[in-house]
Structure 1
Amino acid sequence: MAVALALTASVSACSGDDEPEADPTPASSPAPEAAAPLETTARLGTVVGRLGRPERARLQETVTGVVDAWIDAAYLGDFPRTDFAGAYPGFTKGAAADARADARLMSNQQVGSRVDDVVAVRRQVVVDALATRKRAVAVTARFVLAMDLEGDVQRTDRVRGRLFLTRADGAWKVVGYDVDRGVVR
């Protein structure tokens, strides 16, 4: 099998007579809750070959987990930051080396020190598989990630493409990718 590597304080003051100003917010009011992180919408796409329903569901869940781990490590998380050493979990050594060389595309490393927050606004994965003897042997995960970048950089970026996966050491691993990235607004 040949795989083509083509390669998101309040301030109080005192008056002159040392009397504190009244706080307009009652002390008992709850703090606003942060929005829950956006979950990935995933589905199984084309399956070539025979693969049972339980195996299909397990494959979709497992591969989506690999894609999510990469998205979370490479594009989301705590900002500002400059450390992207762990940005490629689930990648083989060779694919991770290629991705590090393409860091502007494959992570937020280029803007990491200039953003305060990155919020995913769209996360989608479609899992296509090749099965032989009722076992998935190769997978293409088609994905779209849209994210709002906030800080010195204010924009929405979209990353989309395909990750090519195969089983290595008992787990699904990314062996190559075909990804593009652009500014939406």
Structure 2
Amino acid sequence: MGQGGNVITELTTDHRKIDALFEQIELQPVGDQRRRQLADELTVELVQHSVAEEQYLYPSVRRFVDGGDDLADKEIEDHARIEQLLKDLEGRDAEDDQFDHLVAKLRLEVAEHVRDEENRLFPLLAEVCTPEALEHLGGKIRDAKKAAPTHPHPAAPDTAPANKILGPGVGLVDRVRDLLAGRNR
């Protein structure tokens, strides 16, 4: 995920990668197991991206942006809906009659969330933060994604400080689980 740089560049790069994964899923024949593999990749990207935003982006929005509490709360609510869809999708075979429906619903939720971040939240953050602060925040986001979980955990805390304390441990457990299941990237 991501390429480096400031937080807005980092997260926008993630958004494009997520869009590309949705497109790859849709290009596979219905019921093809490659759809399931791509959905697993998508899940990892979305979970790690969301966890990093919840740990570092939204606290910064709360601190620096006027009306930041409401903005951050709305984005966290979006994440909760997305994470529940990911949980519903997890473990479903590509041939499951709900698989394609869940992927389509997930894509709509993610697209709306991305539009809101890129068109509203990111410009507001860029107005109030120095380039150095945005760069520093980008580094924190990259570091958080490395330790973040790889599976959805809808019941896990999504606000600081609990998410920063528990997230890396859950991430470690998920990576061991992935290793044992052969779900390595």
Tell me the TM-score normalized by structure 2: 0.28
Of structures 1 and 2, the one with the larger relative CO (CA 8 A, separation 6+) is 2
Higher strand share goes to which structure? 1
Higher helix share goes to which structure? 2
Tell me the TM-score normalized by structure 1: 0.28
* Larger gyration radius, structure 1 or structure 2: 1
